[in-house]
Amino acid sequence: MNKLRTIIIDDEKLAREIVKNYCSKIDEIEIIDECSNGFDGIKSININKPDLIFLDIQMPKLNGFEMLEILEEKPKIIFTTAFDQYALKAFEVNAIDYLLKPFSEERFADAVNKVTKEQLSTSDEKVEKLKSHLEEELEFLDRVIVKQNQKINIIPIDKVIYFEAQDDYVMIHTLDGKYLKQKTMKYFEDHLDPKNFIRIHRSNIVNISFIKEIELYDSESYRCVLKDNTKLSVSRSGYTKLKEILE
């Protein structure tokens, strides 16, 4: 059997050392690189085209899920995570495997065995389900990752002025420019702090701190005027929510 060319991506050196130690006892694995952050991980994956990655979910600069959003070709993945075990139990029957820190050598060997027996699948759909499930336990979004050509933009959520629906994409209007991301408005509506963002229309979610005023557009509708004088349509339900928050 050809060896599984493997990369370890984890911001904790001790965690990488543990995985390397366990891998050294498995003949089928060849470690070809290790990375301490998501940016280096993406670069190494694109260059080395590994068969398998051990991927930490929680990393400061670019977390494991944000990495996967950007990768065009994904290798097989075994997540390594300190997320609550109860949140992950829902995925025990899925083919995606994960190692809950701290994990034993036996549990590690079991995960690798699934890969060598080709029982492990890392479809985008399953990764997205895992991500969505874990996000339910997390606080609201504090940043958005957008790839433009070869550049990866990290947008702090407090720099976002408003989100605008554009077919299957969302245009993110910020203090520094506009960024197009393949997400739904529903996704952002569900993952933004309602104390700071409000959906005022099916096409727009606005950062409350950038609202200057609400003006009457005609006898039955209103517009939201932003501090840069951008004017956004407000639906009837959006107006009701605005009144509750701003009054």
pLDDT of residue 88: 65
Considering only CA atoms, give the Rg of the chain: 22
Q: In Å, how far are 50, 99, 135 from 77, measured between CA atoms?
A: 10, 11, 19
| pLDDT interval class at 148 (50, 70, 90) | confident
Confidence band (pLDDT; 50, 70, 90) for 233?
very high
Phi and psi of 138, rounded to 5°? -95, 170
Prediction pTM value: 0.78
The predicted structure's pLDDT at residue 211: 95
Q: What angle do CA 29, 33, 39 make, to 5 degrees?
A: 130
Average pLDDT over residues 206-235: 92
- Residue 213, Cβ density class (10 Å: 0-12 exposed, 13-18 middle, ≥19 buried): exposed
pLDDT top residue among 214 and 119 = 214
Pair of tokens at residue 35: 């990375």
Whether the pLDDT of residue 179 is over 60: the answer is yes
pLDDT grade for 149, boundaries at 50, 70 and 90: confident
Name every residue whose Cβ is closer than 8 Å to that of residue 25 and which is 6 or more positions away in sequence.
Answer: 105
pLDDT attached to residue 134: 72
